[in-house]
Amino acid sequence: MFYLKVIAADKTFYAGFADSVNFQSHDGREQILSHHENMVIALNEGEIEITPALNAGNGADISKGQVITGLAGIGFAEVINNRVTIIVESCERPEEIDVRRAREAEERAREKLRQKQSIQEYYHSRASLARAMARLAAAKKKGEG
């Protein structure tokens, strides 16, 4: 069990004790467990899965095996002394995703990628497309797409 805080630009997504947290890093999926080595990890956009610790005062009635899922934007995770802090640009639950808006964003990004643009604009469009596709995949997994 370790203390975990997931902070997005507009809210605190999770704060409390956890048994594990999984997220997408630049090197692939990462899992943090209790007493993990101290480190800083860059996060890519993707799903974040938190397994809350039971009877740890999280303020919620959590049944064994329940996992809290969210869609996180880019950011980083810091692991120090059995405390994990994850700071991301955005983090939302699958049920909070507006599927129509995500589809529109995907189409806009695809159209921009078809147009001639600078390298910076290309990477920005590619990131927008990745964000929209991740939102749609999370919503579909939840059964809303």
Taking only the tens place, the pLDDT of each residue in 42-99 is: 999 889 999 999 865 555 545 556 899 998 989 999 999 999 999 999 898 878 777 7
Asked whether 134 and 71 are in contact (CB, 8 A), the reply is yes
Q: What is the mean pLDDT of the chain?
A: 85
pTM of the model: 0.73
Instruction: Indicate which CATH number applies to the domain containing 123.
Output: 1.20.5
Asked whether 11 and 28 are in contact (CB, 8 A), the reply is no
Number of domains in the chain: 2
Same domain, 63 and 124: no
Same domain, 106 and 83: no
In this prediction, residue 37 carries a pLDDT of 94
Say if strands 28-33 and 12-25 run parallel, antiparallel, or are unpaired: antiparallel
Same domain, 62 and 118: no
In this prediction, residue 64 carries a pLDDT of 57
Q: What's the domain range around 109?
A: 97-142
In this prediction, residue 123 carries a pLDDT of 82
